[in-house]
Amino acid sequence: MQLPQSKIDFYQTNGFVQIDNLLTPAELDELSGAIDEVMLDSTAEVALQTDKAGGNYYKVLNQRVNTWRDHGVMAKFSLNEKIARAAMELSGASGIRLFHDHALWKMPGDSKPTPWHQDFPYWPMHEPGALSAWIPMHDVDEDNGCMMFVPGTQNKGKLTGIDLVNPQDIFAFEENKDINRNTAVKVPLKKGQMTFHNGLTFHYAHANKSSQPRRVLALIFFPDGTRFNGKPHVITDGKGLVADQPFKGGLFPLIVKR
């Protein structure tokens, strides 16, 4: 095992966990340089979603997906075996595939929080189990967009997806009346620390009140064997996937297996 059992137990119980020093400072510096390049490269063949809801989405997140297909150094990290192995150990999967990578910049200025949501309702997958690694390029705290998680909420199952621009209050859902939002845990991170969270765990990120972009790489992994549910999604549209069949092939690479 690469991770201590205590980290795996924490993740299984709470639906998120902090992991330290999976990447070396030199690796993080290399990744940080590459993520800057892909975010500043307007020719890259990636989905830039700033036009959603008349540009208001930009106040929440400025994002690009599947940077690994455009930039070799991003590929080196998005397909990094240490990170994927951690995801495999935490999730208990027999193998881990990459769904997509996600450069997540929260811009300074009129920044909005990323509202409380689950990720899984947005993903075109039948089985839950997918999880994200959230890797900041620098220190993050409540002033520049660190995350919060509500422990145990991964056990709520799949709920209605939240509109990230005009958000519903997930805590007001009838099925969530038993959840106390004050149990949410704030997770400031130092450079070199990262979190993993289950796609079902309720999470939130603070607005960026600093003067610099908050720069994060999120990697979305799923257990080998997860089946495509046939619903539209920017990552899968036009890729010839067959509904109800497991994801496979080089677009969703199997990075590690037991």
Ligand X SMILES: O=C(O)CCC(=O)C(=O)O
**Considering only residues 96, 119, 130, 194, which one is a binding residue for ligand X as defined by CB under 6 A?**
119
Report DSSP letters for 16-81, one per residue. EEEEE-SS-HHHHHHHHHHHHHHHH-TTSSS-B-TTGGGGTHHHH-EEEE-GGGT-HHHHHHHT-H
**Considering only residues 34, 104, 131, 148, which one is a binding residue for ligand X as defined by CB under 6 A?**
104
Residue owning tokens 């990552």: 235
In angstroms, give the least distance from the CB of 227 to ligand X: 21
**Which of positions 38-57 make contact with ligand X (CB under 6 A)?**
none
> For residues 96 and 238, what is the distance between their CA atoms, to the nearest angstrom?
23
Our finding on whether 105 is near ligand X (CB under 6 A) is: no
Our finding on whether 205 is near ligand X (CB under 6 A) is: yes
Residues constituting the chain: 258
**Which of positions 122-151 make contact with ligand X (CB under 6 A)?**
132, 134, 145
In angstroms, give the least distance from the CB of 126 to ligand X: 20
- CA nearest to 38, candidates 73, 7, 67, 2: 67
Indicate the burial class of 155 (C-beta count within 10 angstroms; 0-12, 13-18, 19 or more). Answer: exposed
Our finding on whether 106 is near ligand X (CB under 6 A) is: yes
**Which of positions 166-185 make contact with ligand X (CB under 6 A)?**
none
Element (H, E) at 89: helix 81-91
**Considering only residues 74, 148, 216, 241, which one is a binding residue for ligand X as defined by CB under 6 A?**
216
Our finding on whether 107 is near ligand X (CB under 6 A) is: no
Our finding on whether 100 is near ligand X (CB under 6 A) is: no
Cβ closest to ligand X, residue 173 vs residue 246: 173
Indicate the burial class of 249 (C-beta count within 10 angstroms; 0-12, 13-18, 19 or more). Answer: exposed
Cβ closest to ligand X, residue 39 vs residue 61: 61
Our finding on whether 64 is near ligand X (CB under 6 A) is: no
Our finding on whether 101 is near ligand X (CB under 6 A) is: no
Our finding on whether 118 is near ligand X (CB under 6 A) is: no
In the bound complex, which residue of the shown chain has the CB atom lying closest to ligand X? 205
**Considering only residues 67, 80, 114, 193, which one is a binding residue for ligand X as defined by CB under 6 A?**
114
Cβ closest to ligand X, residue 110 vs residue 244: 110
Our finding on whether 203 is near ligand X (CB under 6 A) is: yes
CB 149 within 8 A of CB 202: yes
In angstroms, give the least distance from the CB of 240 to ligand X: 27
Hey, is 10 helix, strand or coil? helix
Give Cα separations from 26 to 34, 101, 143 (angstroms): 13, 20, 26
Binding footprint of ligand X on the chain (CB under 6 A): 61, 104, 106, 114, 119, 132, 134, 145, 203, 205, 216, 218
